[in-house]
Amino acid sequence: MATLALFNRAKKQNLAFKKKAFSERGYKFPSSEGGRVARELHYLDKDARGRMCEFIVAEEFRGMGYEVEMLNGYGQYDMNVFIRGRKYRVEVKSSLIFHAKRKSYNAYCMSSIKPQHFDLVVFVFVSPTGLTYKIMNQKSFLKHFAKLFACRQEGYSIPFSIQYRNKYEYNKSYALELTKENLIAVCA
């Protein structure tokens, strides 16, 4: 019982520390729904934030009318989505916005990407103003990113700019906005 009380107290202290750190960095979260969700995600640890983003993406798919089967969170991918009678293995990757001190700009980094385990990957960009979702299929990922970045044991790490693009995408974005039309196109 005492251990649980200590854990809860440490969790509250950690949350208070994160809130103070974000306010000191000048992060301003709008009061809109997107800002509220982004604020809550910023205060979570990496694993909890990742799992929460999985549930948010699952709701996006359900809102488009697709059946979703969530997995336990410890598998090689996060969920199955049934589109036009076919099962797609979906991996969700999320990143908070961060300030790259050496480069002096804000950016995102999606890490531990293992394309051999998914059919579709959804990138969730968490900024102070809300969430942005991008989607791409395994073939597109391997064609455009795998040849440009080294795959380490834990998978690929892909940096993205504040405009949700990788520096090698030039004038074209390979990861598309998560809409029903783009989802159908990516699955074709």
If you search the block for the tokens 């080294």, which residue do you land on? 150
Estimate to the nearest angstrom the gap between the alpha carbon of 23 and the chain centroid: 23
Q: What is the pLDDT of residue 83?
A: 95
Q: What are the angstrom distances between the C-alpha of 85 and each of 42, 81, 82, 89, 183? A: 36, 10, 6, 13, 14
pLDDT of residue 123: 95
pLDDT, block means (10 residues), the chain with 188 residues: 46 50 50 70 86 94 96 90 96 85 71 94 89 93 82 85 71 83 93
51-77 pLDDT, tens per residue?
Answer: 999 999 999 999 999 999 999 878 899
Beta strands 98-100; 105-113: pairing state: antiparallel
Q: What is the pLDDT of residue 118?
A: 96
Residue 129 neighbours by CB distance under 10 Å = 14
Of residues 37, 143, 140, the one with CA closest to residue 94:
37
Q: Looking at residue 99, what is its pLDDT? A: 67
78, with CB counted inside 10 A (0-12, 13-18, 19+), is buried
Q: Which domains does the chain have, with CATH numbers?
A: 51-187 (3.40.1350.10)
pLDDT at position 146, please?
Answer: 78
Q: Note the pLDDT of residue 139.
A: 93
CB 136 within 8 A of CB 176: yes
Q: How far is CA 29 from CA 147, 156, 186, in A?
A: 37, 30, 32
